[in-house]
Structure 1
Amino acid sequence: MNILISNDDGYLAPGIAILARVAAEFANVRVVAPERDRSGVSNSLTLDRPLQIKEASNGFYYVSGTPTDCIHVGQHALPDFKPDLVLSGINNGANMGDDTLYSGTVAAATEAYLMGIPAIAFSLNDSRGRYWETAEKSAWMLLEYLLKNPPKEPILWNINIPAVMPEDIQGIKITRLGRRHHEQSIVPMHNPRGEPIYWIGPVGNISDQEKGTDFGECEAGFITITPLQIDLTAYNQLQNVSEFWQGIKA
């Protein structure tokens, strides 16, 4: 089996080294990741310039592009390795709720899924480097089970690992996405020349962390697994929208 690994934190991030080390115990592994932190770029492609691909001393490939670019590179520009599974992460920080729309970690998995490759995004609900041991043990446990019990249908799963010690994990919960109230403030500043510049501020508060959501269950100490889908069609609105536009003549 061949496993392609990417992320959005960059090829030097600790999480991708952990995920590669774990996956290598089960399969052939290739890492293709951004050359720098590309958090928050979502599914963006680099279309305004060519990409560069380089190999690091540890054998990882790094790309001058986005996580989505990396999946294309791993699938098409390095033809000697055809992935059977794509893993993205382990992200330094959670990817839950509507944050998944912005996540480059989730985007890499999504792009693989669009190519017909089973894919999983892994994230750790901590960004201070305190629980990488938990992340490693959790990833090993999940991969061992997955590869011994391969799903019968294509998968796109978003997995979040709680910020607790390994012995304090409460179990695994299959969850839906929660909701976060996005009110990123704009932080105005001035550069050394006195010109105004602006930073996007921190994300808003969680508005839906009920039982059964990824926010709620991960905070309670559970590993959360959320199956995702690509189709954004609002099927429950098709009839109403059809009736709304009946009177127009084109």
Structure 2
Amino acid sequence: MRILIANDDGYLAPGIAALVEACKGLGQIDVFAPERNASGTSNALSLHQPLSLHTAANGFRYVSGTPSDCVHLALTSGLIPKPDLVLSGINNGANMGDDTLYSGTVAAATEGYLFGVPSIAFSLTDKGWQHLDVAARVARQVVEHVLAQEPASRPWLLNVNIPASAQADQAPWAITRLGRRHASFPAVPQANPRGDLFYWIGPAGEAKEDGEGTDFHAVRAGQVSITPLQVDMTDHKRMPAWQGWVATR
């Protein structure tokens, strides 16, 4: 077993150290993580500048790029053998609903999935790393169980959100769908000391679709939310309507 671990909070983040520690004994572990925090970078690849790669004292490799860059480099550079599993996280904060479109944590796992490697993204639902040790135990449990009994043909992609609770390792698991959020709050203008105006992206919107079966609902109920993801963004439901529209041309 060979496991590639990445994240979006950077190679110095407590979450990736906890995930690596939790996975010890499962196989050979390789770490490729961003040099600095790359939250919100989604699936971006750095196409207009080269990537530098360095090795930290603890053996983690860190890359001057995005989470997707890290996994892409690991899988295409020949620096390591192809892994059997890609893990991303543990993220400092939830990645639920629409968040998954922007999440660098989910993007790193998605990059592995695109290369045909089973992949899992792990997130701790509250920021601040509270109960990170418990979340790491949950991550280990999920990895062990999915390796012992894979429910679907490879590759597969899971998005796991773990409640920030001292009892999370005893919590039930729920297979969920992505909820939805309201639109983000407005951008926040701010002037620098020279009077130049710039803007901060506003906070994410509140949960909009958070009923039973969604990731929001599961986490609110104290459950570990496990959402199977796919990359196909085709609007299959509306395909017939668009086909009819073309036919009227």
Q: Which amino acid aligns with 2:92?
A: N
Q: Distance in 1 between matches of 2:207 and 2:74?
A: 35
Query: Does residue 3 of the first structure (1) align with residue 3 of the second (2)?
Result: yes
Matches within 5 A, 1:1-250: 1-153=1-153, 154-166=155-167, 169-248=170-249
Offset of residue 184 of structure 1: 2.7
Offset of residue 192 of structure 1: 2.2
Q: Distance in 2 between matches of 1:55 and 1:111?
A: 21
Offset of residue 245 of structure 1: 1.4
Q: Distance in 1 between matches of 2:78 and 2:194?
A: 44
**Structure 1 residues 99 and 50, CA, compared in 2 at 3 Å: closer, same or farther?**
same
Question: Which residues of structure 1 form unaligned runs of 5+?
Answer: none
Offset of residue 170 of structure 1: 3.0
Q: Distance in 1 between matches of 2:189 and 2:88?
A: 33
Relative to the length of structure 1, the TM-score reads 0.95
Identity percentage over the alignment? 52
Q: Which amino acid aligns with 2:235?
A: A
**Structure 1 residues 168 and 43, CA, compared in 2 at 3 Å: closer, same or farther?**
closer
Q: Distance in 1 between matches of 2:169 and 2:74?
A: 36
Q: Distance in 1 between matches of 2:227 and 2:80?
A: 32
Relative to the length of structure 2, the TM-score reads 0.96
Query: Which is worse superposed, 7-16 or 159-168?
Result: 159-168
Offset of residue 126 of structure 1: 1.0
Q: Secondary structure at the match of 2:39?
A: coil
**Structure 1 residues 167 and 22, CA, compared in 2 at 3 Å: closer, same or farther?**
closer
Q: Secondary structure at the match of 1:97?
A: coil
Q: Distance in 1 between matches of 2:14 and 2:134?
A: 13
Q: Distance in 2 between matches of 1:105 and 1:80?
A: 21
Deviations 1:210-229 (A, max 9, x none): 11110011111100100001
Question: Which residues of structure 2 form unaligned runs of 5+?
Answer: none
Structure 1 segments of 4 or more deviating over 6 A? none
Q: Which amino acid aligns with 2:149?
A: N
**Structure 1 residues 4 and 171, CA, compared in 2 at 3 Å: closer, same or farther?**
same
Q: Secondary structure at the match of 2:105?
A: helix
Give yes or no for contact 1:176–1:226 (8 Å, CA) kept in 2. Answer: yes
Q: Which amino acid aligns with 2:245?
A: F
Give yes or no for contact 1:169–1:222 (8 Å, CA) kept in 2. Answer: no
Offset of residue 169 of structure 1: 4.2
Q: Distance in 1 between matches of 2:214 and 2:244?
A: 34
Offset of residue 151 of structure 1: 4.3
Give yes or no for contact 1:162–1:169 (8 Å, CA) kept in 2. Answer: no
**Structure 1 residues 110 and 240, CA, compared in 2 at 3 Å: closer, same or farther?**
same
